[in-house]
Amino acid sequence: MPWTQEKVLAAAPDSSSVAAGRKLATPGPWSSTGSTDELLWGSCQGSGKKPYQVSIDLTGPAYRCSCPSRKFPCKHAIALLLLWSAGAIDGGEVATFAADWASERSERSARPDRPSAAPDPEAQAARRAERMATMDAGVADFAQWLTDLARGGLSQALRRPATWWEAAAARLVDGQLPGLAERVRDTGADAAHGLDAAELLQRVGVWWMLVRAWGRRDRLSPESVADLYAAVGLPTPTSLVREGERRSGVWTVLGAHRDEKGRLSQQRTWLRGDDGETVMTLETAGPGQSLGVPQLAGARLAAEIALYPGHPPRRALFVDPPDVLEPAASLGTGCSVDDALDAAAAALATVPWRDRHPVCIDDVSVAGDAFDHVVDSAGSALRLTPDTPTRALLAATGGHADQLFGELDGGLLRALTVIEGGEMTVL
């Protein structure tokens, strides 16, 4: 488990290194980051063309950075540790520069009692307990902040400057709750662009449910606890996912969407198995990194997937690269708008802080003066999200689609894939 921020700051040589490290402790300048039980690494873009390469032996600890600083550890190492302590760095294949440095240290070491590569279960348990205590304190602080927000009123909160929201998000990062920090930071940005009180009330209600659920997590099901951890930003290591539940079968790609948040990019891909189960894969890329080429909607993939814990629709990852089969002619069984809303409501009742729900709707037409709605054959309608490419939707369908797949997001539909006249189009 990552160090607490207190432990990171205690390793800094002086206060100026702490201040400089905090400024760099954002995903923006970092690329090629990752960690194992013993090693932490990343590349930090400085003023030159070549990024600084940072390697940290967590068992020492020991530090190495290609920057010219004589401080030990330098500001880049402190920044990397702060990102790691906030849960912003997961596992991955060890970078070559970090592996070479670790190998050199191992060869130079003459100590017979050097720790073995096997993780220490007691040390892991202690680190996890330390992090959970930090998160408990962070949730308690957030609960007080929400109480103060409610007492002051939603209108006053909407008039607050961006620095007020950013300060709350920073405290959540210090409390190792990056998922909550992202929600607060996004709301502060939306408030500056016309967020209304009704929408803020809904978001605050979701945050309060997260706070209450955290305090009662010992009484929740394992699936609910996993969903809660994902929402507040406590990641499940990829290695544990691969060791957990797996499914083999043929999966149809329903659609994909990319989000740009600051300097981070995310790509969601929705898949439906031949057994009817829908899952989602998720990729994230920072500066200097690229997302994989998305599988086109309609592609059929023979693959074994590993499932993250939680309620359906669940996140998944491919155990091995999938085999591509003949493409599908349809996206599977669809439904009406009312049935889609009922399914989304049932999922929301189970996981009230989940943001998106996949839907596949049959026989829809594009409607509205601004072509910002879709209507099914029964006359039930859904408003489209502002980022839905309505011109592309109209061009592909002529105003009518036999089938449409998308994401319900905040009650709005983000159209991702349409089929009309036997032709499948990715929007």
105: helix, strand or coil: helix
Q: Could you tell me if residue 113 is inside a domain?
A: no
pLDDT of residue 60: 75
pLDDT digits (tens, 9 = 90+) for 366-406: 998 888 999 999 999 999 999 999 999 999 999 999 999 99
Question: Does one domain contain both 275 and 221?
Answer: no
pLDDT of residue 411: 87
92: helix, strand or coil: coil
Give 396's DSSP letter: H
pLDDT digits (tens, 9 = 90+) for 172-217: 988 999 889 989 999 999 999 899 999 999 999 999 999 999 999 9
User: Residues in the chain with pLDDT < 70?
Assistant: 1, 108-119, 261-264, 286-294
Q: Could you tell me if residue 205 is inside a domain?
A: yes
Mean pLDDT estimate for the chain: 87
Question: Does one domain contain both 90 and 135?
Answer: no
Domain boundary among 187, 208, 232: 232
Cα diameter, the chain: 77
CA 333 and chain centroid, separation: 29
> Structural domain tally of the chain?
4
What is the value of pTM for the model shown? Answer: 0.71
Taking alpha carbons only, the member of 170, 132, 185, 138 closest to residue 2 is 132
Question: Does one domain contain both 212 and 250?
Answer: no
Q: Could you tell me if residue 237 is inside a domain?
A: no
Sort 405 into a burial class: Cβ within 10 Å, 0-12 / 13-18 / 19+: buried
CA–CA gap between residue 147 and residue 400 (Å, rounded): 48
Q: Could you tell me if residue 368 is inside a domain?
A: yes
What CA–CA distances, in Å, run from 355 to 79, 108, 123, 233, 328?
Answer: 30, 51, 35, 14, 28
Domain boundary among 268, 296, 325: 325
Domain boundary among 54, 78, 108: 108
Q: Could you tell me if residue 238 is inside a domain?
A: no
Question: Does one domain contain both 385 and 419?
Answer: yes
Q: Could you tell me if residue 220 is inside a domain?
A: yes
**Domain assignment of residue 272, given as a range:** 245-325
Question: Does one domain contain both 37 and 87?
Answer: yes
Q: Could you tell me if residue 332 is inside a domain?
A: no
pLDDT digits (tens, 9 = 90+) for 283-303: 877 655 556 656 788 889 999
Question: Does one domain contain both 44 and 14?
Answer: yes
For residue 305, what is the domain's CATH number?
Answer: 2.40.50
Q: Are 273 and 305 in contact (CB under 8 A)?
A: no
Looking at residue 184, its amino acid is: V
